[in-house]
């Protein structure tokens, strides 16, 4: 089967699940199924697809008896090659492979836990705020057309609220984000009012919590997002965006550590109603 230069998020997730199920039985796969180690590596990294027959043989070898788990893995396999809107050729050169993969993960995730210390979370930004934020970041060489396309991408990601089963979002936002001038007074007022609108319109699925600046938890505050999936078999994925690149964490001990950090930070935040009041106060200051 041909290898893909850029695997889809579902292929990556399927590969990660198969890697976890294999454990230390690599040589068993090589001997029993007469597969090369390279083939196993390509499948588990998502760089190669896997046929339905090969998947079934693999799960038989791993002694997977759960019909639900087998059906879930087959569904990931079947949908793995389907390219999402983030793979549109028109976006190549605009979206990094890591960002496109993140959007793919986000499209299937049931929950997101996001911490932001410097800007409004991307999934909650207005178009004008996105444009201003992009210009403030290290990508000074972005053209107007590229900024426009990236803004459209962030806006399109907000379809997550319109899904049959909407994404549940938990956001911890530093209070300093509310007073950091991104794009000018009009842009900031529009953005903060939009946060209030989203929190009202999607009361059950968008949870915004402001971390007061006087909180000691600020010492451990840096941007990250945890993505959780609806089935218990799938591990969480942690997405970290840095100054010079992005990376994912998938090992259980690593994702558990970030989950613990999120809960610790959440305990330091204001409640939802209080957070709205603070956002409203800052929105009025930007008037």
16-32 confidence digits (pLDDT tens) = 889 888 888 778 888 88
User: C-alpha angle 180/185/186, rounded to 5°?
Assistant: 130
179 vs 135: which has the higher pLDDT: 179
The pLDDT of residue 1 is: 39
pLDDT at residue 104 above 50? yes
Mean pLDDT within 154-174: 93
Mean pLDDT within 141-158: 86
pLDDT tens digits for range 179-210: 999 999 999 999 999 999 999 999 999 999 99
Report the share of the chain in percent with pLDDT over 90: 48
pLDDT at residue 3 above 60? no
pTM strictly above 0.75: yes
Strand-by-strand arrangement of the 237-241 sheet: 206-211, 168-174, 111-116, 224-228, 237-241, 246-249
Report the C-alpha gap between 285 and 37 in whole angstroms: 61
Mean pLDDT of the chain: 87
pLDDT at residue 109 above 90? yes
Report the C-alpha gap between 213 and 202 in whole angstroms: 26
pLDDT tens digits for range 4-15: 456 778 888 888
Q: Which residues pair with 227 in a beta bridge?
A: 112, 237
Region(s) of the chain under CATH 3.30.870:
88-285
Report the C-alpha gap between 278 and 136 in whole angstroms: 25
Q: Which CATH number fits domain 88-285: 2.60.120, 1.10.3470, 3.30.1370, 3.30.870?
A: 3.30.870
User: C-alpha angle 199/201/205, rounded to 5°?
Assistant: 65
Backbone angles phi, psi at 249, to 5 degrees: -120, 130
Fold of 9-82: 434 Repressor (Amino-terminal Domain) (1.10.260)
The pLDDT of residue 258 is: 93
Region(s) of the chain under CATH 1.10.260:
9-82
Report the C-alpha gap between 256 and 226 in whole angstroms: 10
pLDDT at residue 51 above 50? yes
The pLDDT of residue 205 is: 95
pLDDT at residue 175 above 70? yes
Mean pLDDT within 243-253: 74
pLDDT tens digits for range 274-284: 999 999 999 99
The pLDDT of residue 137 is: 67
Backbone angles phi, psi at 101, to 5 degrees: -65, -40
Give the confidence band of 2 by pLDDT, cuts at 50, 70, 90. Answer: very low
Give the three-state DSSP class for 36. coil
């Amino acid at each position: 089967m041909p290898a893909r230069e850029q695997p889809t998020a579902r292929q990556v997730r399927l590969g990660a699940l198969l890697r976890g199920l294999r454990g230390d039985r690599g040589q068993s796969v090589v001997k029993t199924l007469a597969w090369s180690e390279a083939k196993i590596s390509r499948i588990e990294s998502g760089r190669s697809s896997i046929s339905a027959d090969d998947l079934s043989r693999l799960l038989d070898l791993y002694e997977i008896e759960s019909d639900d788990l087998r059906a879930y893995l087959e569904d990931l396999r079947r949908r793995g090659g389907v390219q999402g809107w983030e793979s549109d050729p028109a976006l190549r050169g605009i979206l990094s492979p890591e960002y496109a993969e993140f959007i793919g993960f986000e499209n299937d995730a049931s929950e997101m836990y996001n911490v932001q210390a410097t800007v409004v979370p991307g999934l909650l930004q207005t178009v004008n705020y996105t444009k201003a934020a992009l210009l403030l970041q290290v990508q000074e060489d972005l053209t107007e057309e590229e900024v426009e396309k990236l803004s459209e991408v962030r806006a399109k990601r907000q379809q997550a609220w319109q899904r049959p089963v909407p994404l549940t979002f938990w956001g911890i936002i530093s209070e300093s984000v509310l007073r950091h001038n991104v794009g000018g007074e009009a842009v900031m007022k529009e953005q903060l009012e939009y946060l209030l609108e989203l929190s009202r319109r999607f009361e059950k699925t968008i949870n915004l919590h402001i971390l007061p600046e006087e909180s000691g938890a600020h010492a451990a505050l840096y941007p990250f997002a945890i993505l959780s999936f609806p089935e218990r078999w799938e591990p969480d994925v942690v997405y970290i965006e840095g100054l010079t690149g992005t990376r994912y964490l998938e090992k259980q001990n690593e994702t558990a550590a970030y989950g613990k950090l999120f809960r610790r930070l959440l305990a330091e935040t204001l409640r939802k109603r209080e957070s709205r009041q603070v956002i409203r106060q800052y929105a009025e200051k930007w008037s």
